[in-house]
């Protein structure tokens, strides 16, 4: 009974010690090129390749709020040749939100947390929206009419604004787009006045940060209040992590985990991530596994309580 696990461990150890030079690891990013997760992937890929001792090749597989690319990794062979770099929506939200989810969060093997930043509610400076009180007033004046953008149905931006709407007892009009990049363009064109997404978009596009869904104020926006300061327990971090296929041998996961830690300690990566507005937060395999479990449970509760689950 002990032969197969021991054999698998021996094979994984040999692979970790001497992967063939021709071997490649495919890093699937389940979002279109140019978005926040893709930027993180391009920043870490060269150093992660060096740390792994194996060429890591990025492939963007966008669609369905990240679930198409994520499903591909769930179905991949557990041979260490396929990994996933993703923001949190397809892991922590979509398995509870989708009527027929193609996977569960715990099916993927969590390798490491790479980055984390508070979700930020933002608006163009021309809208006249400066505070959450302004949003509430407009929403109450025109119930169900005030539009807001998100990067996809069932994504964090959608759920964060759902939490905000429930807390204030207001109704707004959700307009989903295919990723945060398209959402920002819609705001800049005047189609929608608001978006909740990664904070780096504020400076990148000259937007106004209305509030942050965080425990404390962001050092980048010290004058922007948190929702918690306004008496609302709405804390929604935007995080990005690396996962691999279910059943991947522990020795392979440990090698990826070690490479992740080395990558995130590399000065060039730290500089690049800081410049791009993606704060590094590293959790190793064990800690990240527990973190993902807690996040999935939190959003499952929000989806259940708000009745947001996708219709059958």
Give the pLDDT confidence of 175-206 residue by residue, as tens digits. Answer: 998 777 788 999 999 999 999 998 888 998 99
pLDDT of residue 64: 86
Q: Is residue 291 predicted with pLDDT exceeding 70?
A: yes
Say if CB 257 and CB 243 are below 8 A apart.
Answer: no
pLDDT of residue 21: 45
pLDDT of residue 11: 41
**Mean of pLDDT values over 20-32:** 82
Question: pTM score > 0.85 for this model?
Answer: no
DSSP 78: S
Residue 20: band (very low, low, confident or very high) from pLDDT cuts 50, 70, 90: very low
User: Domains (ranges, CATH) in the chain?
Assistant: 23-116+239-306 (3.40.190.150), 118-230 (3.40.190.10)
Of 299 and 110, more confident = 110
pLDDT of residue 2: 39
d(Cα 115, Cα 40) in Å, to the nearest integer? 9
> Mean pLDDT across the chain, nearest whole number?
90
pLDDT of residue 36: 85
Weakest-pLDDT range from 41-50, 175-184, 283-292, 295-304 = 175-184
pLDDT of residue 243: 98
pLDDT of residue 29: 98
How many CB atoms sit inside 10 A of residue 97's CB? 23
Q: Which residues pair with 283 in a beta bridge?
A: 113
Token code pair at residue 119: 């979700």
Helix (H/G/I), strand (E/B), else coil: 235: coil
pLDDT of residue 17: 44
Q: Is residue 207 predicted with pLDDT exceeding 90?
A: yes
pLDDT of residue 7: 43
DSSP 122: E
d(Cα 177, Cα 35) in Å, to the nearest integer? 13
């Amino acid at each position: 009974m002990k032969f197969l696990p021991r054999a698998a461990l021996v094979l994984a150890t040999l692979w970790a010690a001497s992967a063939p030079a021709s071997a490649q690891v495919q890093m699937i990013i389940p979002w279109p090129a140019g978005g926040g997760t893709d930027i993180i992937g391009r920043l870490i890929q060269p150093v992660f390749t060096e740390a792994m001792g194996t060429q890591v090749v990025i492939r963007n597989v966008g669609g369905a709020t990240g679930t198409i690319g994520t499903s591909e990794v769930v179905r991949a062979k557990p041979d260490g040749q396929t990994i996933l770099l993703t923001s949190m929506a397809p892991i922590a939200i979509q398995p509870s939100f989708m009527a027929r989810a193609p996977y569960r969060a715990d099916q993927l093997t969590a390798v490491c947390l790479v980055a984390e930043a508070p979700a930020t509610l933002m608006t163009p400076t021309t809208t006249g929206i400066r505070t959450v009180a302004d949003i509430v007033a407009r929403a109450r004046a025109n119930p169900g009419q005030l539009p807001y953008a998100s990067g996809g149905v069932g994504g964090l931006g959608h759920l964060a604004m759902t939490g905000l709407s429930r807390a204030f007892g207001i109704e707004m009009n959700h307009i989903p787009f295919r990723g945060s990049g398209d959402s920002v363009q819609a705001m800049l064109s005047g189609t929608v006045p608001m978006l909740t997404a990664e904070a780096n978009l504020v400076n990148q596009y000259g937007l106004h940060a209305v509030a942050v869904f965080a425990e404390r104020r962001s050092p980048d926006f010290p004058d922007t209040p948190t929702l918690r300061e306004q008496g609302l327990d709405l804390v929604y971090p935007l995080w990005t992590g690396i996962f691999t296929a279910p059943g991947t041998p522990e020795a392979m996961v440990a090698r990826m985990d070690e490479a992740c830690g080395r990558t995130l300690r590399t000065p060039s990566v730290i500089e690049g991530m800081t410049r791009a507005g993606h704060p590094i937060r590293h959790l190793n395999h064990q800690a990240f596994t527990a973190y993902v479990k807690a996040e999935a449970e939190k959003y499952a509760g929000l989806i259940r309580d708000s009745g947001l689950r996708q219709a059958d």
